[in-house]
Amino acid sequence: MRTLMFLFACLLTVPAFAQSIPTPEPPYIEVTGSAEMEIVPDEIYIVVTLQERYDGRTKVTMAQQEEKFINGMKALNIPSTDISLSDAISDFGAYKWKKEDALATKQYVVLVHTAEMVSKVYTKLVEIDAENAYISKTSHSKIEQYRKEVKINAMKATHDKASYLLSAIGQQIGKPIVITEINSDVRPMDSYSQYELSNYRSNLSFSTGSVISDIGFQKIKLRYEMYGKFSIL
C-alpha cells in the first residue's frame, strides 16, 4: 500500500514540476531609431508693453496709447484676431487704475508670421513710443503634422536598422514584440532678447532703414527616437 501511495505522489509531482519550467524566449533583436526635422517658424509672438507717461506736465493716458497702438497695427494690416491682451497684466493694470497718480501698464501679444513683419511692427512701435516689446516665443502652424511625420520616420528607421543588422548575419526580421516611443522632442529655447524694443530703437537711430528685416530666426528642431524589439525568423 505504501508503495502504491509513493508512486501516486510521484505522478502528481512530475506534471507540476514540468509546468514550472519556463518556456525559452524566442531570439530577438533590440534597436533604436531616430528621425529629426528643422522647420522655419511661421508664428512669431511679440509682447508689447504700453505704459502711461508724462510728456512734460501733460499725461499721455493709457487710452491714448492704446488708440495709437491699435491704429498702428491696423495700418500694417494685422488682423484684430492676431492681437490679444495679456490677462495677467490686464488684471494688474486694472488694479493700478484704482490708484490716483498711478501710471497704468498693459501688455498686448501680437502674432506675426514673418521676420519682415516683425521689423515693421517694431518700427511702428518706435513711432508711437511704446514702452517696450520683445519676442516671447516662436512656433509653426503645422507643428503637430510635422511631429507625426518625424515619429513615423523614426519608426521606419528603427525597423530598417533591425532589418539590415540581421541581414549582415544572414537572418531575417520578424514581427515586432515591443515598440516604445522615447520622448525626445527637442525644441531649443529661442533667444531674441537682443531684439527688445529698447535695443531696436537704439540701433535704428544709427541706421537709415530697418535693422532686423533679415533676422534669421532659430529653426524649430523636432527629434524623436523609437525603441523596437523584433523577433528573429
Per-residue pLDDT tens digits for 193-215? 545 666 656 555 444 444 454 45
Q: Helices 197-204 and 115-127 sit at what angle, rounded to 10 degrees? A: 80
Q: What is the pLDDT of residues 8-63, one digit of tens each?
A: 455 555 555 455 667 777 899 999 999 999 998 899 999 999 988 888 888 888 89
H or E stretch at 37? strand 28-39
Q: Provide mean pLDDT across the span 96-102.
A: 55
Q: For residue 67, which phi and psi values (nearest 5 degrees)?
A: -60, -45
What confidence tens digit (pLDDT) does each residue in 52-69 have? 888 888 888 889 999 999
Residue 196 grid cell = 527688445
Is there a contact between 50 and 107 (Cβ–Cβ < 8 Å)? yes
Please name the residue ranges forming H helices in 168-209.
Answer: 197-204
Q: How many CB atoms lie within 10 A of CB 166?
A: 19
Q: What is the phi/psi pair of residue 185, to 5°?
A: -70, 105
83 and 70 Cβ atoms separated by less than 8 Å: yes
Strands of 220-232's sheet in order across: 28-39, 220-232, 173-182
Nearest CA among 23, 158, 36, 153 for reference residue 166: 158
Q: How is residue 139 written as a grid cell? A: 512656433
pTM of the prediction?
Answer: 0.71
